[in-house]
Amino acid sequence: MSEKQPNPWMEGLQTIVLSVVLALGIRQFVAEARFIPSGSMEPTLQIDDRLVIEKISYRFNPPKRGDIIVFEAPQAALDAARSTHKDAYIKRVVGLPGETVEVKNGQVFIEGKALSEPYINAPPDYLWGPEVVPQGQYLVFGDNRNKSSDGHVWGFLPQEQIIGRAVVRFWPPGRIGGLE
């Protein structure tokens, strides 16, 4: 009895199909690469930085203050930007659900206490709040506070619009590393 020889074309096709399915599954549910198109997160992130966004941790734990997140732009953000394109934004979580947040005297205050923000480009030159972050939503700001279309312009971010957390910069080579 002779064994049937595998068809190399079928094996190649199966390998390609499996690779595509795995790649799409990983991008959809585990991690994906993103690039930075604007200066709204300077100095932490520069234009054209490339990042890995992980998508798993927020399935088990909520975002924390200070996390850098990627999210689907809420309609209010698109309206503020006069955009009809469903963009993804990247900002830093500042206010958590139920907290009272205010921006005054060049500082962010959470429950009346000044937030330490060594990562911002310059102190905010605007007033905002005080407002209570609604349950199931977050307040997000860019690190370049005075040049960012963020929560101080368009309001709160619903949790269901969060795509994931920026964890590592992989480009450019001189700036490779984790994000804080």
- Catalogue the active-site residues: 40, 91
> CA 165 to CA 32: how far, in whole Å?
10
Is 175:45 a contact under the CB 8 Å cutoff? no
Tokens of 71: 């999210």
The CB density around residue 48, as the number of other CB atoms within 10 Å, is 10
Is 132:41 a contact under the CB 8 Å cutoff? no
Tell me which residue has tokens 């923000």: 117
Tokens of 129: 């709040």
- Counting every residue written for the chain, the total comes to 180
